A and B are shown apart, each in its own frame.
Chain A
Amino acid sequence: MTQSRSSSLLDPSILFPALGGAFRKLDPRSLARNPVMFVVAVVSVLTTVLFVKDLAVGAENLGFSFQIILWLWFTVFFANFAEAVAEGRGKAQADSLRRTRTETEGKLIGADGKSFKLVPGTSLKVGDLVLVEAGDIIPSDGEVVEGVASVNEAAITGESAPVIRESGGDRSAVTGGTQVLSDWIRVRITAAAGSTFIDRMISLVEGAERQKTPNEIALNILLAGMTLIFVFAVVSIPSFASYAGGSIPVAVLVALFVTLIPTTIGALLSAIGIAGMDRLVRFNVLAMSGRAVEAAGDVDTLLLDKTGTITLGNRQATEFRALRGVPENELADAAQLASLADETPEGRSITVLAKEKYNIRARDMGTLNATFVPFTAQSRMSGVDLDGSSIHKGAVEAVLRHVGNGAGSEAVRELQSIADEIAKAGGTPLGVAKDGKLLGVIYLKDIVKGGIRERFAELRRMGIRTVMITGDNPMTAAAIAAEAGVDDFLAQATPENKLDLIREEQAKGKLVAMCGDGTNDAPALAQADVGVAMNTGTVAAREAGNMVDLDSDPTKLIEIVEIGKQLLMTRGALTTFSIANDIAKYFAIIPAMFLAFYPQLGALNIMGLASPQSAILSAIIFNALIIVALIPLSLKGVAYRAVGAGALLRRNLLIYGLGGIVVPFVGIKAIDLVITALGLA
C-alpha cells in the first residue's frame, strides 16, 4: 500500500490533468473559497492592470514589474495546482470506476437457484442473487453467500495484489466495480444503483462543494486575520515612505504583501484536507465527512471488541490438565477422540494440541467405527461412542451432571478446583469424562493477537485510553484485559451498557471511537464521535456510523486515529512553517524597498542579495516555489509518531518552526544567485 501511495504522488496521469484543473480554478467563484489566495488573485489583477497602463505610457522598469506579476500569478496558479493534484488522485480512480459501472452486466440467478440471465448492473435490486465468475466485474455492492474468490480491488484501493473474498467470516463483503480474478462466488446484492460505495466515493472526491471542516474553518479565520494584519503593515508604507521623501512602486508593495501573508498554508490547506480523506480511502475506509476524520484525531477513548480485535477469533486448547492418577496421555487421547468429528475451531484446536504436544496422530472416525455425539444445547456436551466405551467433553457442570455420583467426591472437588483456576486466568475449562470416570480438563484459551500489547502501549503514549468490550464474565475479561494490556474493559457487554459507557465518557468531555457491525451496535455507533461500521455489517450499522471500513477489520480503528492526527498535524506544521518564513522575507525586501531614500538600511541586507530588484524577485519566487515544493508533503502528510504530545511538539517545532525560519534565508539567497547569473534582475 505504501508503495502504491508513493508512486502515485508524481503520477503524470494525475499531474497533467491537474495543470488544466489549475487553470479552471482561476474562476473567481472557486478562488473566493480560499480567503488568502483570493486576496493574492485580487492584487495580481490590480498589478496587472497597472502594468498594462504603464506599458501604454512606456514607464521604466517594465521588465522587473513584469516578472513580479508573472510570479504573482504563478503563486495563485500553484495553489490551484496543489488542490487539483489532491483532487486528481481520487478523481482518477473515480473516473475509471464510473466507466466500469456503466458497462457492467450482472449474472442474475433465477428462482431455481441455478440458471442465470445477463442483466445490466444498474437494474439490480437489493436482495438479488448474482453469480460472479473469474474475469467478471462485480455488478454492485454485496455479500458473498457462497464460494471463495480472489478479487482485484485495485479500482478502489489502488492496491494491485488480489484479496480473498469468501462466504461467512469477516471477508464476505464485495464492492461493485471490482473484478473477480479466479474461482466464482454467489453474491447477494446489498446496495441499489446510485447508493453503492463507488457512487459515494465519486460524490466525495468530486464534490466541488466539499464542506470545510470545523478546524479548517478556524484555521482559515486565523489566516484571514494574519492577512489583514499585513494589509495594515503594507498599506501604511507608502505614507511612511512619502514622509521620508521617497516613493515605492505598487508592484514592490504587492510583492512584500504577498510574501508576508501566509500563502504557503493558504495554498495547501484544501489539498491537505482532500489528501487526508484520500488516505482513508486508500486504507479502504470511507469517511462520510471530513469532520469525522478530524474527530478521529481527537479521540480520547477507543472501544474495541475483544473478539477479532484483541484476540484471535476463536479460543484454542493450550493445555490438558489431568486429574491425579490419570496419565496426561490418556486424557489427551480421550480428548482427541472426542474432538475428531468436532468441526468447531475449538474442537480442531484440541486435535492439533494432542498431535503437537503428545504426538497423537489424527485418526479416522470411519476406521475406528466410532459414532459422533454432537453438541446440543440441552446436553452442553459433545462426544464419541466407540468400542463400547463413550467419551464426553463439555462444560464442566454438564460433564459433572453426566457422570453423576459415579465419580468419587474427591475427583469432583479436584476437577472443580482446576476449572476455577482456569476460569480465573481468563480461560474456558472443558471437562472430559470417559465411561463415567472423570479424566481431567481441557484448557481453552483466548489467544491475544501478536503485537497488540505494543499497539495499546503506543495508544497510551498518544494519550488514548483503550476499553475492551466483551460478553465474557468479569473474571475472564479481567484476565484477558491484563494480558492484552488494555486500560479498561466492559464485561458482559450489552448494547445498552455499551451506549451508557459512551455517554459516560462523553460527559467527561472525551471523544469516543468504536467499531461495530450488528444492528444492535447501531445506537452506540451513532452516539460515538467516530463510529466505524464494518462493510460486512448490517445496513443499520452502516447507516449509523460515520465511517465504513471496507475490509471489516476492527483493528483499523487505530490507523484511522493516526490518519486523523496526521491531517491536523500537517495543517499545523505548514502553518508554522508559513508564518516563520516571514522573518527572512522581511530581511530580503525591507532593505531593498527603502534603499533609494535610506541607504543606511543596506545593513539589514544580511543575506547579501545582489541588488534591490533581485532581492524582491528572489523573495517572491521563493514564495511561489515553496508551494510546489511542499505539495508532496501536504499530500503525504507529516509523519505521526506515538511519542507523546510534548516530544511531538518539540520535534515539529524544531523542523517546521526553526526550519521555517532558516530555509527561506537559504532559498532566497540561492534564487538570488541564480537570477543574478541569468541576468533577470
Chain B
Amino acid sequence: MTFSGWLQIILFCAIVLALVKPLGAYLTAVLGGGRIWLSPVFRPIERGLYRLAGTREDEEQHWLAYTLAMLAFSLVGFLALYAIQRLQGVLPLNPAGMVNLPADLAFNTAASFVSNTNWQSYGGESTMSYLTQMAGLTVQNFVSAATGIAIAVALIRAFARKSVKTLGNFWVDMTRATLYVLLPLCIVLTLVYVALGVPQTLGAYVSAKTLEGADQVIAVGPVASQLAIKMLGTNGGGFFNANSAHPFENPGALVNMIQMVSIFAIGAALTNVFGRMVGDERQGWAILSAMGLLFIAGVAVCYWAEAAGNPLVHALGLDGGNMEGKEARFGIALSALFAVITTAASCGAVNAMHDSFMALGGMIPLINMMLGEIVVGGVGAGLYGALLFVVVSIFVAGLMVGRTPEYLGKKIEAKEVKMAMLALLILPLVMLGLTAVAVVLPTGVASMANPGPHGFAEVLYAYVSAAANNGSAFGGLSANTPWYNTTLGLAMLMGRFLMIVPVMALAGSLVTKKTVPASAGTFPTHGPLFVGLLIGVIMIVGGLEFFPALALGPIVEHLATVAGQTF
C-alpha cells in the first residue's frame, strides 16, 4: 500500500462527503414536490407527461397501489426491452447489422436492466444495436434508478409522516426523480465525459489499419451518454464488454474519479434526504457513518490484499502487488477502490477484472453484495436495504432498554419485524440456493473456467451479483448459456422485486402509526453506539449465513495460496 494510494482513497471519500448535503437538499426539494430552480424548464414537460398518462399528481397512493404501479411499470418496461432485443435486426439505428437476440439472452438482459442490475451476458459492441442500447437499455438505466429512488422515498415518508395511509404517488416520484435529478445531472456529466475524451457518436464503427497493416474495426457509439447514467444510476452496464476498463469508457484518472464519485453520489445523498425528511439530519448521518465504516474496512482489506500480492508469484522472484487483470493507468489502489465502490453500491461497473483479484481481495466485493449492498448501495435500494437492518437492530436492541422498540417515534412491532425479515430472507435464499444447484448440475459446472474453490467462487459471485442487483462478474464463468441466462435472470428479478414488496408493506404499516415523542427512555439513534450496533447487526444477521460459502470459496483459496498450493 502506498501513501498516494491512500491519498486517492481519502480524496474520493472527501468529495462524496462534500456532496452529501447539497445534493441531499436538492433531492429533498425535488421529492418534496416544491418548486426548484429547474422548474421553469422541466415543469411544463412534467405536467405534459402527467396529462399524457392521465395521472393526477396530487393523488396520493396507499402502499399497495404504489407497489402495484411500480410492478406494472417494471413489467411493461421488461416486455418492451425484451421485444426490442428480439427484433433489433429489423429495427432502425443498426449500422453494425446486429442480429436478433436469442430468447434466453433477451430474457436475461431484460431482467437485468429492469432490475437495475445490468448483468451482461453479452458483449455490448458485438451484440446490441444502437437502438437497443439507447431506447432499450439506457431508458431502463434511467427509470430503474428512478424506481429505486421512488421506493426509498416512499419508505422515508413512512417514517416521516404520522397516522396517515398514503406514501406519495409512484408516477410523480419516478417522473420527478428522472426529470429533475437523473436527466440534468447526466446531461452535465455526458458533456464532461465527452470533453475528457469519451466518444459520443451515432456513426458506424471505425475501420483502421494497424502498424502491422492488419484491418481493425474499432467500436464506437453513444458511449458518453450511457456512461453518465450507468454510474449515476448505479446500473453498471458497460457500452463495451470491458466496461470501465476500456480506454474509451474510462480514458484516465480524472474520468475514473468522476465515475467513482457518481456511483456513490445519489446513494449517499439519500441518507441526507432521509435525515431531512424525518426532521433530524443526524439520523441520516448515523446511517451514512455505519455505511462509511463498513466501506473503509472493505477498502482497507481489498487494497491490502491486492498490494500484498500473490505469494506464488513472489516465489518466482517477481515482487510487488497483484497487477493481474488491472489496468496500468489505474494501478492497485484505484482498482481496489473501484471494486469496493461498485459492489458496495450495486453498480457493477468494473475497471479491473475482479476474477483476477487475490482471494481475499475478491472476497470483499462478494461480502459487499451478500450484505445486500447496503454500504451506500444502489440508488434508493441501498437506503431501503439499510433501513431493513435498522429495523432489526432497533427491535433487538430497543428491547434492551426496556421498551417496545421504536425508531424515530414509530413502534417496531410484529408486522414490521415480519416484513423486514421477509425482505432479508430473499437474498440468502436466492444466492445460496441457486449456487447450491448450479455447482452440482453438469450444465452449471460446464461453464466454469477454473477448478477448485476459485471455480466455486465464480458461480457464487454470479448468483450473489445477480440477486443483489449488482451486475459485476468474476469473468471466468461462461454465463451466456440457457441455464445461467435463465437462472441469473430469475435471481435478478427475485432479488429486486421480492425485496421491494415487503419493503413497501413495511412502509405501509409504518406510515399509519402514531409518532411517540422521544424521551430519556428512548435510546438515541444518532450516536456512535447506534452506529456500532447497526454494523454489528448487519454483519451478524446479514453476513454470518454466508460464512460456510465463503469458507469453501475465497477463504480456503486464500489459505491454500498462502500455503503455496494451487488447484
* Interface residues, chain A, with chain B CB atoms under 8 Å away: 214-215, 217-219, 221-222, 224-226, 228-230, 232-237, 239-244, 260, 294, 297-298, 300, 460-465, 508-510, 564-566, 568-569, 571-573, 575-576, 579-580, 582-583, 586, 590, 593-594, 598, 600-601, 603-604, 640, 644-646, 648-650, 652-653, 656-657
Within 8 A of A (CB), among B19-51: none
Q: With A and B bound together, what is the CA distance between A656 and B400 in angstroms?
A: 10
| Interface range, B side | 35 or more
| Distance of A545 Cα from B404 Cα, bound (Å) | 21
B109-117, B249-257, B328-336, B538-546 - interface stretch: B538-546
**Contact between A568 and B404, CB atoms less than 8 A apart:** yes
| Contacting residues, chain A, for B540 (C-beta < 8 A) | 579-580, 582-583
B428/A568 in contact, CB under 8 A: no
Query: Other than the known A297-B402, A300-B517, A565-B403, what 7 A-B pairs have Cβ atoms closer than 8 Å?
Result: A218-B418, A225-B417, A234-B548, A236-B548, A239-B439, A648-B401, A653-B533
CB-CB under 8 A for A575 and B439, given A243-B456, A300-B519: no
Min C-beta distance of A215 to chain B, whole Å: 6
Question: How far apart sit A649 and B525, CA to CA, in the bound complex (Å)?
Answer: 11
B401 touching A575, Cβ below 8 Å: no
Taking the closest CB of chain A, its distance from the CB of B236, in whole angstroms, is 26
A509 with B517: CB separation less than 8 A: yes
- Tell me if B523 and A645 are in contact (CB < 8 A): yes
Contact at B428–A229, with CB atoms within 8 Å?
yes
Docked-complex contact A510 and B559, CB < 8 angstroms: no
Contacts of A461 in B (CB 8 A): 520
The chain A residue sitting closest to B435, CB to CB, is A236
Residues A214 and B397 in contact, CB atoms below 8 Å apart:
no
Give complex CA distance A572, B537 in Å: 13
Q: Are B414 and A230 in contact (CB under 8 A)?
A: no
Complex contact B402–A568 (CB within 8 A): yes
- Given the known interface contacts A222-B421, A463-B521, A571-B399, the answer about A600 and B436 at a Cβ–Cβ threshold of 8 Å is no
A222 touches which of B392, B552, B559 (Cβ 8 Å): B392
B547: chain A residues within 8 A (beta carbon): 233, 586, 590
Question: Which chain A residues lie closer than 8 Å to B519 at the CB level?
Answer: 300, 463-465
Interface membership of B56, Cβ < 8 A? no
Closest to B532 in A: A653
Interface centre among B428, B437, B519, by most A CB within 10 Å? B519
Q: In the complex, what's the smallest C-beta–C-beta distance from B171 to chain A, in angstroms?
A: 32
Least Cβ–Cβ distance between B419 and chain A, in angstroms: 10
Cβ contacts B545-559/A at 8 Å (1 or 0 each): 111110110011001
Contact, CB under 8 Å: B551 / A590: yes
B514: which A residues are within 8 A, CB to CB? 509
Taking a contact as CB atoms closer than 8 A, the residue among A235, A240, A656 that contacts B439 in the complex is A240
Q: Which of B395, B432, B556 contacts A594 (CB 8 A)?
A: B556
Let me know if B425 and A225 touch, CB within 8 A: yes
Residue of A nearest to B521 (CB): A463
Q: Report B343 CB to chain A, min CB distance, Å.
A: 21
Which one, A294, A508, A601, A653, contacts B551 given CB within 8 A? A601
In the complex with contacts A600-B565, A604-B555, A657-B536, A572-B396 CB distance below 8 A = yes
B64 at the A/B interface (Cβ < 8 Å)? no
**A270 to chain B: closest CB distance in Å?**
16
Whether A573 lies near B563 (C-beta < 8 A) is no
Q: Is the CB of B433 within 8 A of A510?
A: no
Contact of B428 (CB < 8 Å), options: A218, A232, A242, A298: A232
| Pairwise interchain contact A239-B437, C-beta atoms closer than 8 A | yes
Given contact pairs A233-B548, A598-B552, A510 touches B516 in the complex (Cβ within 8 A):
yes
Q: Which residues of B contact A465 (CB under 8 A)?
A: 519
Are A582 and B403 interface neighbours, CB within 8 A?
no
**B413 at the binding interface (Cβ < 8 Å):** yes
Residues on the A chain within 8 Å of B491, using CB: none
Q: A221-B421, A509-B514 are in contact. Are A240 and B401 (CB under 8 A)?
A: no
Residue B515 at the A interface, CB < 8 A?
yes
B294 at the interface (CB under 8 A from A): no
Q: Are the C-beta atoms of B548 and A240 separated by less than 8 Å?
A: yes
Say how far A269's CB is from chain B's closest CB, in angstroms.
Answer: 12
Q: What are 7 pairs between A and B in contact, CB < 8 Å?
A: A239-B439, A300-B519, A573-B400, A582-B540, A601-B555, A601-B556, A604-B555
Contact, CB under 8 Å: B559 / A645: no
B556 touches A230 (CB 8 A): no
Chain B residues whose CB sits within 8 angstroms of the CB of A228 once the complex forms:
421, 425
In the complex, B560 has a CB within 8 A of chain A:
yes
Name the contact of A648 in the complex, choosing from B435, B453, B523, B536 (C-beta under 8 A).
B523
Q: Does B398 contact A (CB under 8 A)?
A: yes
Q: Is B65 an interface residue (CB 8 A)?
A: no
Are B524 and A645 in contact, with the CB atoms below 8 A? yes
Alpha-carbon separation in the docked complex, A494 to B464 (Å): 65
Q: How far is the CB of A192 from chain B (nearest CB, A)?
A: 37
Residues on the A chain within 8 Å of B437, using CB: 239
For residue B456, which residue of chain A has the nearest CB? Answer: A243
Q: Determine if A640 and B425 form an interchain contact, defined as CB atoms under 8 angstroms apart.
A: no
Task: Select from chain A the residue with minimum beta-carbon distance to B553.
Answer: A240
Q: Is the CB of A508 within 8 A of B548?
A: no
B529 within 8 A of A: yes
Main SS of the interface on chain A?
Answer: helix
B522 within 8 A of A: yes
Taking the closest CB of chain B, its distance from the CB of A563, in whole angstroms, is 10
> With contacts A233-B548, A464-B521, A600-B560 known, is A569 near B425, CB below 8 A?
no
B400 touches A576 (CB 8 A): yes
Contacts of A463 in B (CB 8 A): 519-522
**Do A590 and B521 contact each other (CB < 8 Å), given the known contacts A218-B417, A221-B418, A649-B400?**
no
Q: List 4 tightest A-B contacts by C-beta distance, closest first.
A: A463-B521, A572-B399, A565-B402, A225-B421
Chain A residue numbers with a CB within 8 Å of B439 are 239-240, 242-243
CA of A564 to CA of B404, assembled, Å: 10
Bound state CA distance, A237 and B437, in angstroms?
11
Complexed CA–CA distance, A228 and B545 (Å): 10
- Which chain B residue has the least Cβ–Cβ distance from A578? B396
> Residues of B contacting A462 with CB < 8 Å?
520-521
Which of A218, A219, A224, A297 is the most central at the interface, judged by chain B CB atoms within 10 Å of its CB? Answer: A218
Known contacts A217-B414, A236-B435: A509-B516 contact under CB 8 Å: yes
Q: How far is the CA of A649 from the CA of B425 in the complex (A)?
A: 27
* A649→B440 contact, CB < 8 A: no
Are B395 and A222 closer than 8 Å at their CB atoms?
yes
Q: Which B residues are CB-close (under 8 A) to A237?
A: 548
CB contact under 8 A between A569 and B399, given known A463-B521, A653-B533: yes
A634 CB to nearest B CB, Å: 14
Q: Which of B412, B436, B565 contacts A239 (CB 8 A)?
A: B436
In the complex, chain A residues whose CB is within 8 Å of the CB of B476? none
Whether the Cβ atoms of A233 and B432 lie closer than 8 Å is yes
Residues of B within 8 A of A260 (CB): 544
For residue B76, CB closer than 8 A to chain A, the reply is: no
Assuming the contacts A221-B414, A600-B560, A653-B533, asked whether A229 and B436 have C-beta atoms less than 8 A apart, the reply is: no
Of all chain A residues, which has the CB nearest B418?
A221
A residues near B482, Cβ cutoff 8 Å: none
Query: Are A653 and B432 in contact, with the CB atoms below 8 A?
Result: no
Cα–Cα, bound, A650→B162 (Å): 29
- Asked if B432 and A222 make an inter-chain contact with CB atoms under 8 angstroms apart, the answer reads no
* Chain A residues with CB below 8 A from B548, complex form: 233-234, 236-237, 240, 590, 593
In the bound assembly, the distance between CA atoms of A217 and B395 in angstroms comes to 12
Any chain A CB within 8 A of the CB of B279? no
How near does chain B come to A506, taking the closest CB pair, in angstroms? 9
Q: Which residues of B contact A229 (CB under 8 A)?
A: 424-425, 428, 541, 545
Name the residue among B398, B435, B436 with the largest chain A CB count within 10 angstroms.
B436
Check if B524 sits within 8 Å of A600, measured CB to CB: no
Task: Please indicate the chain A residues that have their CB under 8 angstroms from the CB of B425 in the complex.
Answer: 225, 228-229, 232
A residues near B414, Cβ cutoff 8 Å: 214, 217-218, 221
Contacts of A640 in B (CB 8 A): 402
- What separation, in Å, do the CA atoms of A233 and B548 have in the docked complex? 7
Instruction: List the A side residues contacting B409 at CB < 8 Å.
Output: 509
- A298-B404, A463-B521 given as contacts; is B397 within 8 A of A572 (CB)? yes
Return A18 CB to nearest CB of chain B, in Å. Answer: 26
